[in-house]
Amino acid sequence: MTNRMIEDPRIDPRIKAVLGDIPCAPSFQASSREEIIAAFSAIPAGENPLEIAINSLDFARLAPEAGLDIRTIAIPSAPDGNSINLQVITPEGSGPFPCVYYIHGGGMALMSCYDQNYRAWGRMIAHQGVVVVMVDFRNALLPSSVPEVAPYPAGLNDCVSGLRWLRANTDALNVDASRIILAGESGGANLALATLLKTKQDGDLAGIKGLYLMCPYLRGEWAAEPGSSAHENSGIIMDLRGSNWGSMGYGIEAYRAKDPLAWPGFATEADLAGLPPVVINVNECDPLRDDGVELYRKLQRAGVPARCKQLMGTTHGTEIFLVCPDVSTDVARDMATLAKG
């Protein structure tokens, strides 16, 4: 399907210049997870049009490494005993620092926090005076920096395990244990919210100061009724109308069971009550825009301190691609402010 971005007068010209020529991710109906894996695996390594376009940016200039300590720590994940990677980015200074525990996007199925744009995005956040811990979990469809792929609840278990490890090792990481927030975009926002819901179920929210979600991907399937953002913005980067690749690829049984830990769009007000403050960013020209707004309304009804912002002229995930550096810097600063309290 042709990407409708170029013809849309709402969209920032800088986004069009980088992403305007990439094909739109089509609506995809599949009968099995294996069918989806085969379809995604058919794209040769290094030939993903989105990755090629994004990697044309000068990330070293937009988010330099100077002034940061960057390292990888491999940790075990429970209950499966697999190993996952944490990318830890620490600013210069005495600390202890507030911390952003960041979960990358990709529909819980694709991408890695070691992709070039995520490396740069993590550096941009850390330059705001916070430690950034980025978790590379088991994707549902294609490998991240770990070779295993597995459906729900594997990715969630890895994200929960990473957060537990972080909270048990704050002294070694120069992190203020009382000032940790969770954050993520798209599928990472799904996992960040689900990780917080699981932490709430475990009665262990102390020290978690907030949740920062961008363009959250929460439902798995969309009817895309006329008037909805899924209908209005179809064909801008992706088309959700009638697509089931998300629910089928990540966890179709959990989708049918309306499990809020797999698909937080099913979370009730009772599930959400008692969470720490939540910030939600939605992109004006994103099929997923309404999902973030709907979550904001539900949080308000549940009594959770929440705010929601619409970034005008932006498309899905604009912040983490750094195609509009001023927008990305503003969001990174806002995220760090939430962590600093």
- Asked, for residue 3, whether it belongs to a domain, the answer is no
- Asked, for residue 1, whether it belongs to a domain, the answer is no
341 residues of the chain, pLDDT tens digit each: 678 999 999 999 999 999 999 988 888 889 999 999 998 888 887 788 999 999 999 999 999 999 999 999 999 999 999 999 999 999 999 989 999 999 999 999 999 999 999 999 999 999 999 999 999 999 999 999 999 999 999 999 999 999 999 999 999 999 999 999 999 999 999 999 999 999 999 999 999 999 999 999 999 888 768 889 999 999 999 988 888 889 999 999 999 999 999 999 999 999 999 999 999 999 999 999 999 999 999 999 999 999 999 999 999 999 999 999 999 999 999 999 999 99
- Asked, for residue 6, whether it belongs to a domain, the answer is no
The two structure tokens encoding residue 242: 């009638």
- Asked, for residue 8, whether it belongs to a domain, the answer is no
Amino acid occupying residue 241? R
**Overall number of domains in the chain:** 1
Residue with tokens 């927008």: 327
Asked if 49 contacts 2 with a C-beta cutoff of 8 angstroms, the reply is: no
Domain, as residue range, for 270: 13-340
Torsion sign over Cα 235, 298, 132, 262: negative
Helices (H) and strands (E) in the chain, counts: 14, 8
* CATH code for the domain in which residue 61 is found: 3.40.50.1820
Helices 325-340 and 116-126 meet at what angle, rounded to 10?
Answer: 50
Can you tell me the distance from the alpha carbon of 286 to that of 255, in angstroms, rounded to the nearest whole number?
Answer: 22
Specify the pTM.
Answer: 0.97
Query: DSSP string covering 204-235, please?
Result: --TTEEEEEEES----S-B---TTSHHHHTTT
- Asked, for residue 252, whether it belongs to a domain, the answer is yes
The two structure tokens encoding residue 332: 């990174």
The two structure tokens encoding residue 324: 């509009």
- Asked, for residue 49, whether it belongs to a domain, the answer is yes
- Asked, for residue 224, whether it belongs to a domain, the answer is yes
Asked if 77 contacts 162 with a C-beta cutoff of 8 angstroms, the reply is: yes
- Asked, for residue 4, whether it belongs to a domain, the answer is no
